[in-house]
Amino acid sequence: MCQLNVFSLLCAVYVLNAVRADLRFASYYGSHMVLQKAPEQAVLWGYGSNEYKVTVFLVGELEFHSQVVDVQNGTWRVTLPPQTAGGPYNVTAIQQDAQVTLTDLLFGDVWLCGGQSNMAFPLSQVFNASAEKAQAAKYPDVRIFMAALELSQEELIDLRKVQMPWSVPSADLVGNFSAVCWLFGRYLYKILGYPVGLVESCWGGTPVEAWSSTRALQKCGLDGLEMEDKRFFYIASLPNKYGPSPKRENSVLWNAMIHPFLNMTIKGAIWYQGEDNTAYHLDKYACSFPAMIDDWREAFHLGSGGQTALDFPFGFVQLCTYNKSAESDSFPELRWHQTADYGFSPNPRMKNTFMAVAVDLPDEKSPWGSIHPRDKQDVAYRLTLGARAVVYGEKGVAFQGPFPVNVLLKGDLITVTYTQAVSVAPSKSAFEICCTKEINPCNSNSTWLPAPIMQWGHSYVQVSTATCENAVAGLRYAWRDWPCDFKACPVYSDDEELPAPPFTINRWP
């Protein structure tokens, strides 16, 4: 029993906490967090005793709202009225004589950041890391949260562990946070001018199957297939944030690190993943990746009671590079499959998506291995352009590089006409033609020969087919693991900002 002495205050706190043990918010709610702003409504939930109702208060400078809810099977849930961007707010949950309060809450846009090691890649390891970390204090309204690395054979309703609770950014904190996620949020905040919440949930060395539900995998014939335990790109010197590699089993990361978030209202998601799938179910990625996006959208929509949009925006990074001397086509094929084999995004199969092309951002001397390039600033900036145009409807924002709209073979020349004006540099090998004696579609095993750029104009490039002694059956561009040096691919947008993505075209389907 507590005695009346100098420790009486501590004893009182202990007793109060014991009373409150059954009443708490779910793991990913906390002080300093960002909740989704209007027109969507934020969802809050937590745990409590089934014997009593829970009253939830939202209090701001000009706002007071209360809501009474039942506790069912040990959990309660409220949907707050829509709130304009800003804050701060406090939220208090009360049950009988117990209460818990979250302070310094802001309303803004909440973005989920997922994928493997290039999304997990921390800000402390990018180019100019010290200067980037020093910027953190200038963005107190960009709040960050990180899920801990966990696996589960069953779908969890809540996170088992939290690596970083909701926090106001500091140099040390953002140094250990996803560089792409943080920079995307920081760049976005400068455009939006209101709070941005960033949720990092990613794990290095993981294939898309681990992040997909059984429902999604079934659509691609992948359900029930045991994953390999081998990690193809694991680098022993990487920090613990990248490993050890989880066992490759279907849905184990969906179950543990995505499913718990479904009740939370989000604005959208960004994704950087695919390196692992260059050596695992590569031929299925054109199905499995879009299927995962579709499934996430449906699940978040249902989990949030319809508050997260059924077609919430989904941005992703088209893979960068790995092996400068690689002969395998696995990386260019994966890049193509990332777009559901359209070559661009958004497209008819992947609506309300946007893509950051990273093929021109190699980093041969990266201390973390060439598969982990340090220039995450350009990656995040290109993602931000996509968000501004696709998500926020900003007019006049270019976010896609040039893509072929017409390909014409005439004589010894192929004229490639693009969707926009282009900036072109000479190249003898970036374009390749497929030569064949038979009328068959071309693939990686076909004979491909260099097609040098001969000339170009405002929105077209002409390449030579003189090296082909037979019929020209296909054309492709940047179809290599490492097609060019840093920001030195042959074809860019007219302002030289956005690279043309890789493409492949067959003359005969």
Q: Average the pLDDT over 64-85 and give the result.
A: 96
Residue 308 has a pLDDT of: 98
Residue 247 has a pLDDT of: 52
Smallest CA-to-CA distance from 444 within 346, 318, 332 is with: 332
Residue 224 has a pLDDT of: 60
Element (H, E) at 138: none
Residue 270 has a pLDDT of: 98
pLDDT band at residue 235 under the 50/70/90 scheme: very low
User: How far is Cα 509 from Cα 491, in angstroms, rounded to an integer?
Assistant: 26
User: How far is Cα 26 from Cα 44, in angstroms, rounded to an integer?
Assistant: 8
Residue 229 has a pLDDT of: 40
Reply yes or no on whether the pLDDT at 207 is more than 90.
Answer: yes
User: How far is Cα 16 from Cα 35, in angstroms, rounded to an integer?
Assistant: 28
Residue 246 has a pLDDT of: 52
Characterize the bridge pairing of strands 422-424 and 460-464: unpaired
Residue 237 has a pLDDT of: 32
Reply yes or no on whether the pLDDT at 106 is more than 70.
Answer: yes
pLDDT band at residue 444 under the 50/70/90 scheme: confident
Element (H, E) at 184: helix 179-192
Q: Average the pLDDT over 39-64 and give the result.
A: 95
> Tokens 């006049």 belong to which residue?
396
Residue 473 has a pLDDT of: 94
User: Residue type for 494, please?
Assistant: D
Reply yes or no on whether the pLDDT at 19 is more than 90.
Answer: no
Residue 35 has a pLDDT of: 98
Residue 437 has a pLDDT of: 85
Percent with pLDDT over 70 in the chain = 91
Q: Which two tokens stand for residue 148?
A: 């801990």
Residue 438 has a pLDDT of: 83
Reply yes or no on whether the pLDDT at 335 is more than 80.
Answer: yes
The pLDDT tens digits of the residues spanning 172-182 come to 999 999 999 99
Reply yes or no on whether the pLDDT at 244 is more than 50.
Answer: no
Q: Average the pLDDT over 356-373 and give the result.
A: 97
Tell me the pLDDT of the chain averaged across its residues: 92
Residue 14 has a pLDDT of: 35
Residue 487 has a pLDDT of: 98
Reply yes or no on whether the pLDDT at 470 is more than 80.
Answer: yes
Reply yes or no on whether the pLDDT at 230 is more than 50.
Answer: no
The number of beta carbons lying within 10 Å of the beta carbon of residue 290 is 24
Residue 151 has a pLDDT of: 96
Residue 248 has a pLDDT of: 73
Reply yes or no on whether the pLDDT at 240 is more than 90.
Answer: no
**What are the strands of the beta sheet with 24-25, ordered from one edge?**
24-25, 43-47, 75-79
Reply yes or no on whether the pLDDT at 226 is more than 90.
Answer: no
Residue 245 has a pLDDT of: 52
The pLDDT tens digits of the residues spanning 373-409 come to 999 999 999 999 999 999 999 999 999 999 999 999 9
Exposure b/e, 451-486, CB count within 10 A at least 16 = b? bbbeebeebbbbbbbeebeeebbbbbbbbbbbbbee
Q: Average the pLDDT over 275-293 and give the result.
A: 97
